[in-house]
Structure 1
């Protein structure tokens, strides 16, 4: 059985990304369900691109086609059914997960605005990649088709407090097929391929082992002001599942950096980043990309600001969070929301007289009536989780939903829509 090594190198950064927040995003992509697909990702993706007339249609029309199966990128495979490859992860599996996203989303990418088969706008690259859909997997993905570096142009400056998350489906890489994410500060933003020369950088990498005896290894290397520090190793088998994506989360608070792979905290390093390090780029790097070596990334999310739940609940009487996530067009809470739910549950337990109203909000995609109903159901789902998973009394919580009626950001950018999809806890 193939194992995977997750390599994390922490160093200072040097890499200026010139860019702007991504253009219009349409969040109307609906989950494809009840589909079976054979899975062996070492065979070539069979891409179906829009015909000329379809390419001229609106974004909503293209997304509708993709949802209906008119535009698919099939991963041909052996007799294994993707939908049966692994049981869904429950929220209780994340009982030790303490990741809480930043307060404001400033970068978001789900590839819903681009055309199937195209390289996405708002990115820089020295290689090649294209937007695809995968049978049995919701949403869209960026498939790396030729080696190089791939830079999402979210911002030109990364503050000292931020979180970054993305989903990774590694396909069937082989031994030596190294794949990495680096946060860096480069001298020349026009040469992102030189990220490895930066004096300051944070690198999260994958490495493949073909040995059945070798356990997946994660390694950290800290480098400050061009001086290397001691390295550390950790171990995980989470990335050995080639049929299901993993969720990678990185949390920087000044010098401290924490890294998570699904429910596992891989590192919590108190002195990982130099105090004067200036992060300004995210760089994905693939050394190999061909038919038998496939990497897919999706659902990128950058948020800034350190959460301060207790203070805001008790002094400002309201806490707004973007960290409670749901399946598309659903009130089913994603398991990676556990850290945020635990945060509010702790505040409620510390203040037994505190009562809250839980209010759901959506973006403007879809009809007003559907969004209002969805927001109410999501608020109710949060209440149910706090009661059943954390022991908070029902009588201390009320719920409501505002749909798309009270936006806090624009609804015409990916980040703006992500900010509007939120849950508010209001002190009663």
Structure 2
């Protein structure tokens, strides 16, 4: 895939034995220690040097976990329109009940994520200009912890970044490994049994396979297995049309409804297959597989912001009949009130409900998790609620007089703030029928 990927320099910091506790403390304390400050300064110097080779230096962002760290601004109407324009046909609606969430924030930089399993190696890393931590994957298999009680209808999302780590421009297709995004149903014994028994406890598997080739002929295809036998194989799709997505992190979204599978890469729907998954399949793990490469040190494959959620809400019923709609599908930039463009489908659905019910007025309430100071979380939630109102008014032409806003901060949590899944549930927007 000649010249598809641009050089993206990554600085990986390995935690020394004497610093391990200090690194872990960063995720529990609001103030950083002197050791961490020195590490950050060293990382910044290394990043600045590496970025001299990049044509366009990415804007730096603070990547702390506390939501109040950045001073964000409301989303103006013109920016809302620009952000959602490319997502005008995006119809992915993420599930509302979070079953699993992972951004590797609890892991020590340079070490393998503690909750995952592998038959080779990987490491938690930071990437300049991007929020959260990421898992870098080398050649091998990577399996998530068990995801219990995954229903027939659910959504899977994650961000990936694919880069060449060398110093010279290379033909990516010649060295980049084949890799798979996998949904797995494993028998009792979990991920370890799979890795060390050559997949002997695998019941069902769904794979989205990216197969590199020379001269921009890379492709993606689907394979589905049940009890070791091929159940479905989808046709190849040329990935050349998506090449621009791989110059920076790209978002993968998968929606499973019983046997139906839909898959999006960023705003484009790649697959919509009515019977891609064997009946009675009950996936309980997420997996990644990398193979066919002998230059793993020169290839960067990173994943983060993983979220698996149970079925999407019936917005019409929730808002009109029950009088209250709670959604985690309106996403914001980290520590900001800027709405992410992949929120377009949810906002479009809500706007459709309000257009069909022209007498309905709503109060839009913003909520945060408990990380950070109460007052700053309250202000952030207020600005996020106002940003949602602005988007509905400017982009979807809902009369602003029909919408009030209120910031609730970290009040009224709906889940446990001590877990990632719980914090993800608590970061939400509620629509209350007035």
Instruction: For 2:301 and 2:3, locate their aligned partners in 1 and report how far apart those are by CA, in whole Å.
Output: 15
Decide whether the 8 Å contact of 2:182 with 2:288 is kept in 1.
Answer: yes
Give 2:12's aligned residue. 47
The structure-2 alpha-carbon separation of the partners of 1:200 and 1:4, relative to structure 1 and needing over 3 Å to count, comes to: farther
State how 1:147-166 maps to structure 2 within 5 Å. Answer: 147-166=139-158
Structure 1 residue 120 and structure 2 residue 95: aligned? no
Give 1:25's aligned residue. none
Give 2:285's aligned residue. 281
In the alignment, which of 372, 375, 386 is matched to residue 378 of structure 2? 372
Give 1:16's aligned residue. none
Of Structure 1 and Structure 2, which has the larger fraction of its residues in helix? 2
Aligned length: 387
* Helix, strand or coil at the partner of 2:384: helix
Decide whether the 8 Å contact of 2:366 with 2:381 is kept in 1.
Answer: yes
Decide whether the 8 Å contact of 1:102 with 1:163 is kept in 2.
Answer: yes
Q: Deviations over 1:8-59 (max 9, x none)?
A: xxxxxxxxxxxxxxxxxxxxxxxxxxxxxxx724x7x542334555422313
In the alignment, which of 349, 360, 365 is matched to residue 359 of structure 1? 365
Give 2:353's aligned residue. 347
State how 1:245-264 maps to structure 2 within 5 Å. Answer: 245-264=249-268
Give 1:218's aligned residue. 220
In the alignment, which of 267, 271, 275 is matched to residue 271 of structure 1? 275
In the alignment, which of 233, 236, 242 is matched to residue 236 of structure 2? 233
Decide whether the 8 Å contact of 2:212 with 2:219 is kept in 1.
Answer: no
Give 1:92's aligned residue. 85
Decide whether the 8 Å contact of 1:158 with 1:279 is kept in 2.
Answer: yes
In the alignment, which of 100, 105, 108 is matched to residue 98 of structure 2? 105
Decide whether the 8 Å contact of 1:82 with 1:243 is kept in 2.
Answer: no
Instruction: For 1:382 and 1:232, locate their aligned partners in 2 and report how far apart those are by CA, in whole Å.
Output: 39
* Helix, strand or coil at the partner of 2:299: coil
Deviation at 1:366, TM superposition (A): 0.6
Q: Deviations over 1:63-91 (max 9, x none)?
A: 9548983474859473423428xxx9822
* Helix, strand or coil at the partner of 1:338: helix
Deviation at 1:293, TM superposition (A): 1.5
The structure-2 alpha-carbon separation of the partners of 1:230 and 1:413, relative to structure 1 and needing over 3 Å to count, comes to: closer
Structure 1 residue 395 and structure 2 residue 398: aligned? no
The structure-2 alpha-carbon separation of the partners of 1:164 and 1:195, relative to structure 1 and needing over 3 Å to count, comes to: farther
Deviation at 1:136, TM superposition (A): 2.2
State how 1:10-159 maps to structure 2 within 5 Å. Answer: 40-41=7-8, 45-57=10-22, 58-60=25-27, 64=32, 65=36, 69-70=40-41, 72=43, 74=47, 76=50, 78-83=53-58, 90-144=83-137, 146-159=138-151
CA RMSD of aligned residues (A): 2.8
Give 1:183's aligned residue. 183
Give 1:22's aligned residue. none
Give 1:29's aligned residue. none
In the alignment, which of 332, 335, 345 is matched to residue 326 of structure 1? 332
Instruction: For 1:332 and 1:352, locate their aligned partners in 2 and report how far apart those are by CA, in whole Å.
Output: 27
Instruction: For 1:110 and 1:361, locate their aligned partners in 2 and report how far apart those are by CA, in whole Å.
Output: 20
Deviation at 1:184, TM superposition (A): 1.6
Task: List runs of 5+ in structure 1 lacking aligned partners.
Answer: 6-38
TM-score (norm 2): 0.81
Deviation at 1:222, TM superposition (A): 4.4
Mean Cα displacement is larger for which, 253-262 or 180-189? 180-189
Decide whether the 8 Å contact of 1:238 with 1:246 is kept in 2.
Answer: no
